[in-house]
């Protein structure tokens, strides 16, 4: 395994694992520090994850919410970007091992390490559900989700038995936090407005959108009043909101919720998250979600050279851990970078991390969003404008900001969405969706397929 050697008398080496909000902002905070920075990520782009659901629901295209990291850091001469997979950390010898795929094919020696690897969907001990119920984490994830949604409408249009349209056009979202609520609203807008006049044999507005959460209400992090107002708005949009409903099983046939089988060919997971394996790499304590317990300055106990930021860290604020939201990563990443810069400059004292709560935002439709900041509670159009401004502000690159803003304005005025492209047009997934379920079926429910694999719905008359 090749290992980088530390040059005698060379600049201190800072290795950053993860190119999300935390890692990218940490690298930028080190732009003027006398250090070498290596940023490692499994992809070559920085992704604006809060808008991933808009790619899945055809509002935006992937290029509008992502930007190449090398481009974003092109003017920062002290940064090297490596696209590879981190496999572990040797804290004793201060070495990060990497390889793509495993086993390790290389290693980097570090003087300082910043771990900003984020989180992924938590299936609460049922990781086998991930195969069926995708969690929107990467561009690849949401493109598959978008394809699945659009192909189900195509399958319904091809299906000769109207009684099977209900199963094909039932969408289940598990988890009613901000991601689940926003995706449910986007799906409702898509089915009741965008696609309304584009099909001839089906009515997209008849689609069922079911939002399920085990908690007593949606948006647990928001006030009762805003959560209640959002629920009523979703229900007016046609979303079936079910709270206090526990998901017991997920399979290709749908979900089982409180002993009730909901048949669906499209289940998305928008529930809890679990941190990356950083705690295992570092051999340090973690909380129930796998987040690394950090000291007030964001370092790991016994390792003042290792910082953990963003969703990967369990950061205490006013006696409670901070939530895994983008603002925590955006603020904790620069704190780690500035602390390293001061340490390299010879400053012994380290300041604790202070989090500034900028409030909670969530959007449901083109004209409805909610904002909660202390005693400020806003909903409707004013909150929507604030939501749009904040999200455009934090997008990477001027071009992306301009394109997304124009796309939103166009969607608001016309209710049309331009990203309704099926990336993988293969027939297999469409055929799988149309395949009869177990049990008796009528001849009318079957679909004839011509020799050249173009399906033709059977006549029912």
Domain extent for 219: 127-271+359-414
Whether a cis peptide bond, with omega within 30° of 0, leads into 101 is yes
The reply to whether 424 falls in a domain is no
Residue 300 CB contacts under 8 Å (≥ 6 apart), including other chains: 282, 284, 292, 294, 306, 307, 308
pLDDT at res. 448: 35
Q: How far apart are CA 221 and CA 223, in angstroms?
A: 7
For residue 402, what is the enclosing H or E element? helix 398-414
pLDDT at 116: 96
Q: What is the 3-state secondary structure (H, E, C) of 158-176?
A: HCCCHHHHHHHCEEEEECC
Task: Output the 3-class SS for 344-369.
Answer: HCCCCCCCCCCCCCCCEEEEEECCEE
The CATH number linked to 26 is 3.50.50.60
Tokens representing residue 152 in the block: 């189900």
Domain boundary among 316, 344, 372: 344
- Residue numbers of the chain with a pLDDT score lower than 50: 439-461
Counting every residue, how long is the chain?
Answer: 461
27 plus 162 within the same structural domain: no
Strand duo 368-373 + 254-257: pairing: unpaired
pLDDT at 6: 55
State whether 372 and 410 are in the same domain.
yes
What residues contact residue 257 under an 8 Å CB cut-off, 6+ apart? 212, 242, 245, 246, 247, 248
Beta bridge partners of 267: 172
Per the domain annotation, does 457 fall within a domain? no
Residue 351 lies in a domain: no
Query: Does one domain contain both 19 and 137?
Result: no
Of 77, 26, 21, 19, nearest in space to 45 by CA? 19
Quickly list DSSP for 395-458: SSSHHHHHHHHHHHHHHHHH---S----S---HHHHHHHHSPPSS---GGG-EEE-TTS-EEEP
First to last CA, the chain: 69
243 and 381 together in one domain: yes
- Does 353 map to a domain? no
- pLDDT for position 417: 65
What's the confidence (pLDDT) of residue 455?
39
Q: Is the dihedral of CA 179, 57, 242, 249 positive or negative?
A: negative
CA 363 to chain centre: 15
Task: Tell me, yes or no, whether 260 and 376 share the same domain.
Answer: yes
How many domains is the chain partitioned into structurally?
Answer: 2
Q: Residue 434 has what pLDDT?
A: 66
- CATH number for the domain harbouring residue 177: 3.50.50.100
Supply the pLDDT for residue 436.
Answer: 65
Place of tokens 């290709």: 252
Q: Measure the CA–CA gap between 256 and 168, rounded to whole angstroms.
A: 17
- Give yes or no: residues 178 and 304 share one domain: no
pLDDT at 174: 97
Question: Three-state DSSP class for 272?
Answer: coil
403 is a domain residue: yes
Phi-psi region of 258 (alpha: psi -120 to 50; beta: other; left: phi over 0): left
Same domain, 150 and 29: no
Q: How far apart (Å, rounded) are the C-alpha atoms in residues 375 and 358?
A: 12
The pLDDT, as a whole number, for residue 149 is 95
**Active-site annotation, residues:** 182
315 and 195 co-located in one domain: no
């Amino acid at each position: 395994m090749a290992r980088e050697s530390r040059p005698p008398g060379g600049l201190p080496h800072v290795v950053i694992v993860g190119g999300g909000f935390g890692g990218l902002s940490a690298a930028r905070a080190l732009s003027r520090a006398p250090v070498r920075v290596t940023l490692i990520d499994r992809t070559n782009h920085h992704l604006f994850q809060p808008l991933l659901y808009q790619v899945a629901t055809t509002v935006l295209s992937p290029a509008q919410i992502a930007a190449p990291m090398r481009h974003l850091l092109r003017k920062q001469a002290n940064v090297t970007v490596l696209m590879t997979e981190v496999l572990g950390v040797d804290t004793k010898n201060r070495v990060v091992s990497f390889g793509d795929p495993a086993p390790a094919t290389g290693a980097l020696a570090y003087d300082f390490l910043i771990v900003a690897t984020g989180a992924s969907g938590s299936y609460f001990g049922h990781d086998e559900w991930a195969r069926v119920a995708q969690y929107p984490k990467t561009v690849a994830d949401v493109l598959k989700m978008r394809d699945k949604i659009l192909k189900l409408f195509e399958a319904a249009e091809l299906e000769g038995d109207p009684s099977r349209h209900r199963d094909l056009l039932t969408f289940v979202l598990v988890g009613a936090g901000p991601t689940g609520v926003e995706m449910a609203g986007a799906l409702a807008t898509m089915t009741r407005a965008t696609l309304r006049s584009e099909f001839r044999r089906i009515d997209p507005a008849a689609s069922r959108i079911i939002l399920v959460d085990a908690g007593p209400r949606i948006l647990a992090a928001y006030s009762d009043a805003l959560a209640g107002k959002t629920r009523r708005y979703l229900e007016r949009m046609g979303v079936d909101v079910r709270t206090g409903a526990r998901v017991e099983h997920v399979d290709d046939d749908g979900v089982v919720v409180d002993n009730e089988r909901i048949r669906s060919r499209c289940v998305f997971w928008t529930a809890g998250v679990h941190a990356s394996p950083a705690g295992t790499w570092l051999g340090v304590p973690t909380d129930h979600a796998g987040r690394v317990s950090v000291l007030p300055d964001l370092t790991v106990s016994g390792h003042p050279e290792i910082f953990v930021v963003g969703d990967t860290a369990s950061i205490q604020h006013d006696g409670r851990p901070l939530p895994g939201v983008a603002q925590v990563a955006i603020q904790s990443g620069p704190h780690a970078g500035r602390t390293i810069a001061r340490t390299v400059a010879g400053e012994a004292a380290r300041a604790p991390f202070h989090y500034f709560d900028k409030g909670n935002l969530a959007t449901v439709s083109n004209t409805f969003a909610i904002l909660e900041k202390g005693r400020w509670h806003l909903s409707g159009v004013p909150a929507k404008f604030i939501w749009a401004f904040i999200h455009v502000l934090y997008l990477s690159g001027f071009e992306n900001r301009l394109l997304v803003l124009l796309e939103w304005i166009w969607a608001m005025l016309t209710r049309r969405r331009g990203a309704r492209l099926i990336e993988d047009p293969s027939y297999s997934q469409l055929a799988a969706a149309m395949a009869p379920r177990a049990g008796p079926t009528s001849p009318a429910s079957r679909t004839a397929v011509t020799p050249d694999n173009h399906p033709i719905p059977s006549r029912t008359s």
